[in-house]
Structure 1
Amino acid sequence: MTILEFIKYISIVVIGLLPIMNPLTTIPLYMALTQKMTAETRQRQARKACLYAFCILTIFLLLGNGIISLFGISMPGIRVAGGLIILILALRMIFSGLDSSSSVDTEPDEIKHANLDYSFSPLAMPSLAGPGSIAVIMGFGSQIPEGSHILGDAIVITGIAITIGIAYLALSSASYIEKFLGEHGMQAVTKIMGFLLTCVAVQFLASGIRDFYIEFAKM
């Protein structure tokens, strides 16, 4: 395989994964969850979330079918679970404008230094490495020809790394967005984005329930 072909296949992975992952939809969730954290802690959350998302997608690429078979998990089940998690957080954003990271029973100065960890759930999973992203990665893995798994896996993993890098840049820019909007602007955006996340959650749930129905109808 030539370098141009290698780049071509990596680009296909990035183009296929990036719209499904859509890091822009994670920004409002990230901003709401980390609003009372220090700048350093927020950056750490972004780094950890992206690292976890990379590991999750890589594991599902290499061991996805085995994991699903071992635990008896189906993609509809992952969709429904992810939808429920996002729905709960989205409703909190709508009705309070904030999330649980701001409801710690302590003084304001201490709240700002709250060390709550949201990097794995819900930022990495199901937001960045959600059911759609996992399905896309497993789909790419299933298209790797026999005898070319090492090279094929390397291409897909490189594509995942590039997409996660783009996601990290998006999350890192969230602080600049917050400074531009101000406190009241942030509250308004949080409520609007909470509504949009509610729509995403309902879509996750609807897709999962539909797929459950299709699976049971075949039995």
Structure 2
Amino acid sequence: MTHQFTQAVLLIVTTLFPIINPPAGALIILSMERGASDRDMAELARRIAINGFVILLVSLLVGAYVLSFFGISEAVLRVAGGLVIAMAGWGLLQSPTDEGAAPSQNAGHAESLRARAFYPLTLPITVGPGSIAVAIALGTGAPRLGLQPIHLAGVIAALLLLCGNIYLCVRFAARAAHLLGKTGTQIAMRLFAFVLFCIGVQLSWLGVSELIGSLHLHEAEAVLASHSKLP
């Protein structure tokens, strides 16, 4: 049982951590929330970590069934998600380099903060279609005899480790930016924004390639079927 628990934790963490990349995501979030107070960053970190935990847990446990219910293929998920990520990265590349003004303190600020914490800061910036697709693929490899309690415990422990890292990176992103300095932070943010744009394009291309490949496969099957009917 301990072996199954450890195997589930290591598999999920080592597979998803490089894709999510919390340190890079934290700097991107910081660039999108210029002028946010320390209290706002703490609130964002908490909400993003919770949102990410829920999204990944649902993707691991029932993601494949949800996509099947709505008739959405993983290829389409990659195309749509890649476009969203690419647009977010392009928007960051085009954003001004100067620091924003202090955050608004009006009555709608808290509500706006909660809305941004889910979209786009959690989905797709932190937990994007790439990590969701991988989580769905990992979920399909769950024990064939049904989800065992020890496997579920491993999944939860792994996601707690991942989302704990997300929380710490977002929470202390401003301190990391302070260590890098203003110029270093701007360089890192532009670099990560470009990488984010490239990831979006790559995801979309992978999805398009899969769709084209499946189309060609269907055409070949149709040709073979028509030939088999010939006398």
TM more than 0.5: yes
Which residue number in structure 2 is paired with residue 119 of structure 1? 117
Aligned with residue 139 of structure 1, among 124, 127, 137: 137
CA distance in 2, matches of 1:198, 1:19: 17
Give the aligned partner of residue 130 of structure 1. Answer: 128
Deviation at 1:148, TM superposition (A): 4.6
Aligned counterpart, 1:150: 148
Q: State how far apart, in whole Å, the 2-side matches of 1:6 and 1:39 are.
A: 37
How much is the aligned-residue C-alpha RMSD, in angstroms? 2.6
CA contact (8 A) 2:85 2:128 kept: no
Structure 1 contact 60–134 (Cα < 8 Å) conserved = yes
TM-score by length of 2: 0.79
The aligned residue for residue 205 of structure 1 is 204
How many pairs align?
212
Equivalent AA in structure 1 for residue 122 of structure 2: A
AA aligned to 1:71 is F
Instruction: Give the 3 Å change call, closer, same or farther, for CA 49–159 of structure 1 in structure 2.
Output: same
Q: Structure 2 regions of 5+ residues with no counterpart?
A: 219-231
Aligned 8 A contact 1:10 1:159 in 2: yes
TM score, norm. by length of structure 1: 0.83
Where 1:149 maps in the other structure, the secondary structure is coil
What percentage of aligned pairs have identical amino acids? 28
Unmatched 5+ stretches in structure 1: 103-107
Residue 77 of structure 1, CA deviation:
2.0
**What are the within-5 Å matches in structure 2 for residues 172-211 of structure 1?**
172-211=171-210
Indicate conservation of the 8 Å contact 1:30/1:171, yes or no: yes
Structure number with greater Rg is 2
Q: Output the amino acid matched with 2:216.
A: A
Q: 1:17 to 1:195 in 2, by over 3 A?
A: closer
Specify whether residues 208 and 28 from structure 1 end up closer, same or farther in structure 2 by C-alpha distance, changes over 3 A only: farther
Is 2:44–2:117's contact at 8 Å kept on the other side of the alignment?
yes
CA contact (8 A) 1:49 1:124 kept: yes
In 1, the alpha carbon distance for the partners of 2:10 and 2:86 equals 32
CA contact (8 A) 2:8 2:154 kept: yes
* Superposed displacement of residue 182, structure 1: 4.1
Cα distance in 2 between the residues matched to 1:94 and 1:44: 26
Separation in structure 2 between the aligned mates of residue 12 and residue 166 of structure 1, nearest angstrom: 16
Q: Distance in 1 between matches of 2:192 and 2:174?
A: 16
